[in-house]
Chain A
Amino acid sequence: MKPASTQPCPEWQAPSPADAGDPGCSPASLAAIDASCRKPILLLFGAGVVWLMIGTVLALLASWKLHEPALLTDHAWLTFGRIRPAHTHAVVYGFAFQAAMGVTLWLVSRLGRTPLWHPGIATCGALFWNLGMVIGTAALLGGESTGIEWLEFPRYVSPILFASYALMGIAGMPALGSRPQRRWFVSQWYLLAAVFWFPWLYSTANILLLFEPVRGAAQATVNWWYGSNLLALWFTPVGLGALYYFVPKRIGQPVHSHALAVIGFGSLALWGGWGGMQHLVGGPIPAWLVTVSIAAGLMLMTSVAANAVNLHQTMAGHFHRLRQDLALRFMVFGGMSFALAGLCGMLMALRSISEITHFTHLTIAHAHHGLYAFFSMVMFGSIYSIAPRLTGCPWPSPRLISLHFWTAAVGLLLYLGVLIPGGIAQGLAMNSPDIPFLEVVRGTIPYLRLRTAAGFVLAASHTVFFVHLAWMTASRVRDRDRPLHDATAHAIPISGGSAP
Chain B
Amino acid sequence: MSAPIPSNTPAPEEPRRADPEGWEPTAVHRPLSVWMILAMGGLMLWGGWYLARYSAGFHPLIYDERSSVPPPSGAASNSVDLLIMGKRLYADTCAKCHQVNGEGVLGQYPPLAGSEWATAANPTQAIAIIFDGLQGPIQVKGITYNNPMVAWRDLLSDTQIAALLTYIRQQKSWSHRASAVTPEQVAAVRAATKHRPPLGPWTAQELPSLE
Q: Which residues on A are within 8 Å of B, measured CB to CB? A: 1, 6-9, 11-13, 15-16, 18-27, 30, 110-111, 185-186, 244-245, 248-261, 263, 284-288, 290-292, 294-296, 298-299, 301-302, 305-306, 309, 321, 324-325, 328, 351, 490-492, 494, 498
Contacts and interface: CB of A to CB of B under 8 A. Distances in A.
Contacts of B44: 299, 302
A200 to B, nearest CB: 24
B28 A298 contact: no
A118 B39 CA distance: 47
13 contacts: A6-B1, A15-B2, A18-B26, A186-B27, A249-B8, A258-B30, A259-B29, A285-B63, A286-B62, A287-B55, A288-B57, A301-B43, A491-B10
A134 B9 CA distance: 39
Contacts of B12: 498
Given A15-B2, A27-B21, A255-B28, A305 B40 contact: yes
A252 B10 CA distance: 11
Interface in B2-59: 2, 4-14, 19-32, 36, 39-40, 43-44, 46-48, 50-51, 54-59
Given A185-B24, A254-B26, A259-B30, A492 B10 contact: yes
Contacts of B58: 286, 288
B27 A185 contact: yes
B7 to A, nearest CB: 3
B28 to A, nearest CB: 5
Contact of A22 (B24, B30, B46): B24
A287 B56 contact: yes
Contacts of B14: 1, 252
A460 B120 CA distance: 75
Contacts of B56: 286-288, 291
User: Which of B2, B24, B57 has the most chain A CB atoms inside 10 A of its CB?
Assistant: B24
B13 A1 contact: yes
A335 to B, nearest CB: 15
A258 B29 contact: yes
B64 interface: yes
Interface of B: 1-2, 4-14, 19-32, 36, 39-40, 43-44, 46-48, 50-51, 54-65, 67
Given A1-B13, A305-B40, A309-B36, A255 B65 contact: no
A306 B56 CA distance: 31
Contact of B20 (A245, A490, A494): A490
Contact of B10 (A15, A255, A494): A494
User: Which of A13, A30, A254, A325 has the most chain B CB atoms inside 10 A of its CB?
Assistant: A254
A309 to B, nearest CB: 7
A20 B27 CA distance: 10
A250 B8 contact: yes
B11 A26 contact: no
A30 B5 CA distance: 20
- Interface of B: prevailing SS: loop
Nearest to B31: A259
A21 to B, nearest CB: 6
A245 B25 contact: yes
A491 B62 CA distance: 61
A252 B29 contact: no
Contacts of A1: 4, 13-14
Contacts of B11: 321, 324-325, 494
Contact of A24 (B22, B31, B51, B64): B22
Nearest to A249: B25
A251 B9 CA distance: 7
A19 B22 CA distance: 16
A224 to B, nearest CB: 16
A324 B61 CA distance: 59
Contacts of A13: 1-2
A298 B47 CA distance: 5
Contact of A6 (B5, B8, B29, B46): B5
Given A286-B61, A291-B65, A299-B44, A19 B28 contact: yes
Nearest to B21: A30
B21 A248 contact: no
Contacts of B39: 305
A364 B13 CA distance: 44
A389 B200 CA distance: 78
Contacts of A294: 50, 54
A295 B50 contact: yes
A16 B32 CA distance: 17
A141 B55 CA distance: 43
A306 to B, nearest CB: 7
Given A1-B14, A27-B22, A252 B9 contact: yes
Nearest to A29: B22
Contacts of B19: 27
Nearest to B54: A291
Rank and list the top 9 A-B pairs by shortest CB-CB distance, nearest first: A252-B7, A24-B22, A248-B25, A298-B47, A255-B27, A258-B27, A287-B65, A295-B51, A22-B24
